[in-house]
Amino acid sequence: MTPLSENSPAVEVVDLRRSYGDYEAVRGISFSLARGELLALLGTNGAGKTTTLEVLEGYHPPTSGSVRVFGLDPFTAGARVRRRTGTMLQEGGFFKELTVRETVDCWRTFTSGARPTAEVLARVALEPKAGTRVGQLSGGERRRLDLALAVLNDPELLFLDEPTTGLDPEARRTTWRLVEELRAAGTAVVLTTHYLEEAQQLADRVAIMDRGLIAAAGTVGEVLSGRGDLITLPLPPGRPLAALPELTGAAPSLADGRAVYRVPRSAPALAALHAWAAAQGIELDGLEVRSSSLEDVFLDLAAHHRDHTAEHADRAVDSDRGHTEHTDRTGRAARAVPEGASR
Amino acid sequence: MSWFRYAKGQFGLSWKVFWRNRRSTFIGFLLPVLLNLVIAAPLRNQEIGGVNAAGYVAVGLLGLALVTSFVNLLGSVVARREELVLKRLRGTECPPSAVFAGQLGVGAVVVLIQALVLGGVAVGWFGAPLPADPGLLLLTLLGGYLLFSVLAVALSGLTPSAETAPLVATPVLVLCMFGAGVFTPVSALPGWLHGPSSALPLSPVVRGLRTAWFGREFGAESWVGGPLPELDLLHGWASAAPSLLLVAAWLAAAAALSRRFLRWEPRRG
């Protein structure tokens, strides 16, 4: 048996591939995670995030490539690895017959170094529901119970698969606070999320997955660097897009009825825009300026993806924004085929 | 944490869920006890093969308790899998073998409780004797329980959903209930059924349990026949040996099937 190496990184993935039958869900990705670091895996449904996470959690062996958690193979050394990790599945089941407190109490009997039940429930703000049967919980409360059990052993490494999906904003913030507390105490975290805000808020590093590959990776700053700022404005009355000027060399494009400029620096571009508007006698109502966000990177990838698959009419939708909403609504069913085909 | 502590933790979890769930309490515990009152009790003044007929049926029902326990276990393993409970448990540090050891352990303890209830009623009310060979009785009961619980785990892999579990479990239950000599000796069945009947997994268990309880050579008893020959301990074991071997063979087959078919997650797509 490989000895536990105290110096090995929390996670090390080299050229991981994972297929289900003919479908290759993950097509060769590499990354590593230092102790105490937080990596967010982003991507549309079906991009391979959950598959990657389930290989790390030891549910499946890689089809090829290698995966190490604390220097160990999570598939063959499962129990040893899991003593030090916590897992929150995208969807995990509990016994409906038991109350929240009983569930945690039972879990404590087979968890090394388990925290006291009351403390764990307080951490996820579930104490008011301690006496409620799990079958009576809302979806968001069940997610928090799952999180409570994932952090029961004060893990050194935590896997969170869409931890805040279905949570109301307050519960989401509770979850974020808990993740930040754990990180402050040295826990490394790999999480997947659809909420770019969540990644931007929590992650040291992000990896954006697209069709089984990592399309962009690095710190949030690195992924966003060179993407500049966005200036958007509603089309002035009677002016088509073609009538708008170039700003510091950038031509406008149209999105959701608004003209969008992507410029390296906003100040000179805004000066040019104001000068043009003054000369034309136009009011710039509804002008917005912001720096690029992960969402823009994400939407660009989605648009890129759509261009490449335009012949598959089922995916084509009107706008970038419409596209993400489309996959959010239907992606679960679509994704269940490849990712759920696991054994 | 040792394997035993993990298994103990899983036992505690399954124990709570068993008694909290009405379906498992009824099928897994109450059913054989109720059948005992309805079917065995009226026979208390009759005899078969030289033994108390109500006691004879009560011991048969103890065998049937293994099958109702099988029905319950099959349903709950499938439900646990389909509701992603198994997947969630597998994501913990608890070894997979301990997860099943805990769940099977609960069924074993429930069967022991049923043995005490059925045996207590048989001796205290029906007037049956105390078990002639408690060691052989326990061994047969344990072997039979292992066989049926491992068979439940194996067949869970062939059962697509909780809704279809009864379709898989009911044929096994009905065949064993009426074909394995639980209520009435196999000799009461038409002659051409004797061969298939003795091949059922419950048949050797029921015969072994009766041999151990009454200390007689069972197998040829009938409602009109005379008393069966009595056996001392050594001859009791000799008489039960073929039954025990048959149980062992069934157990090996069930274990091989469960290795092949057990699934931890629902099949989708």
Cα angle B84, A90, A142 (rounded to 5 degrees) comes to 75
Collapsing DSSP to helix, strand or coil, A179 comes out as helix
Asked if residues B64 and B12 have their Cβ atoms less than 8 Å apart, the reply is: no
Q: Considering only CB atoms, which residues of chain B are within 8 Å of chain A? A: 1, 5-6, 8-10, 12-13, 16-17, 20-21, 80, 83-88, 90-95, 98, 263-269
Tens-of-pLDDT digits for all 343 residues of chain A?
A: 444 556 789 999 999 999 998 899 999 999 999 999 999 999 888 889 999 999 999 999 999 999 999 999 999 998 889 999 999 999 889 999 999 999 999 999 999 999 999 999 999 999 999 999 999 999 889 999 999 999 999 999 999 999 998 888 888 999 999 999 999 999 999 999 888 888 888 998 999 998 899 988 998 888 887 777 889 988 888 888 888 888 888 888 888 888 889 888 888 999 999 999 999 888 888 898 888 777 777 777 777 766 666 544 443 333 333 333 333 333 333 333 333 333 3
Predicted structure pTM score: 0.83
Asked if residues A190 and A283 have their Cβ atoms less than 8 Å apart, the reply is: no
Task: Characterize the bridge pairing of strands A85-88 and A157-161.
Answer: parallel
Substitution target in B78, B80, B85, B93 with the highest count of A β-carbons within 10 Å is B93
User: Residue B169: what pLDDT?
Assistant: 96
Domain boundaries, chain A: 11-224, 229-291
Give chain A positions within 8 Å (CB) of B9: 106, 109-110
User: Residue B268: what pLDDT?
Assistant: 66
B27-69 residue pLDDT tens: 999 999 999 999 999 999 999 999 999 999 999 999 999 999 9
C-alpha distance from residue B73 to each of A24, A290, A320, B250, B257 (Å): 36, 59, 50, 18, 16
User: Residue A311: what pLDDT?
Assistant: 44
Which residue is listed with tokens 């309805």?
A: B38
Nearest to B221 by CA among B207, B209, B241: B207
Q: How far is it, in rounded angstroms, from Cα B146 to Cα A54?
A: 33
Domain boundaries, chain B: 3-261
Nearest to B71 by CA among B180, B139, B172: B172
Q: How far is it, in rounded angstroms, from Cα A291 to Cα B116?
A: 75
Alpha carbon B231 to chain centroid distance? 25
DSSP A253: E
Q: Which of B10, B17, B92 shows the shortest C-beta gap to A97? A: B17
Query: By CA distance, what is B267's nearest residue in A?
Result: A341
User: Residue A134: what pLDDT?
Assistant: 96
Asked if residues A104 and A149 have their Cβ atoms less than 8 Å apart, the reply is: yes
For chain A, how many residues are written? 343
- Other CB atoms within a 10 A radius of the CB of residue B216 amount to 20
Query: Could you tell me the sign of the dihedral formed by the alpha carbons of B182, B184, B186, B191, in that order?
Result: negative
Give chain B positions within 8 Å (CB) of A106: 9, 12-13, 16
Which residue is listed with tokens 């060399």?
A: A249
Q: How far is it, in rounded angstroms, from Cα A248 to Cα A265?
A: 9
CATH number 3.40.50.300 given to A11-224: yes
Q: How far is it, in rounded angstroms, from Cα A214 to Cα A200?
A: 17
Asked if residues A205 and A10 have their Cβ atoms less than 8 Å apart, the reply is: no
ipTM reported for the complex, 2 dp: 0.90
Low-confidence ranges of chain B (pLDDT < 70): 268-269
Residue B265 one-letter amino acid: E
B119's CB contacts (< 8 A; 6+ apart) are B58, B62, B131
Query: Could you tell me the sign of the dihedral formed by the alpha carbons of A177, A183, A187, A190, in that order?
Result: positive
Nearest to A88 by CA among A176, A175, A147, A172: A147
Which residue is listed with tokens 């009454």?
A: B214
Task: Give the CA dihedral B139, B144, B146, B150, nearest 10 degrees.
Answer: 170
Task: Characterize the bridge pairing of strands A229-234 and A85-88.
Answer: unpaired
User: Residue B149: what pLDDT?
Assistant: 97
Which residue is listed with tokens 């099958």?
A: B67
Nearest chain B CA: its distance from A333 CA (Å): 9
User: Residue A321: what pLDDT?
Assistant: 34
Say if residue A288 is exposed, middle or buried (CB neighbours under 10 Å; 0-12, 13-18, 19+): exposed
**Are B94 and A338 a contacting pair at CB < 8 A?**
no
Cβ–Cβ pairs < 8 A, chains A and B:
87
**Are A97 and B21 a contacting pair at CB < 8 A?**
yes
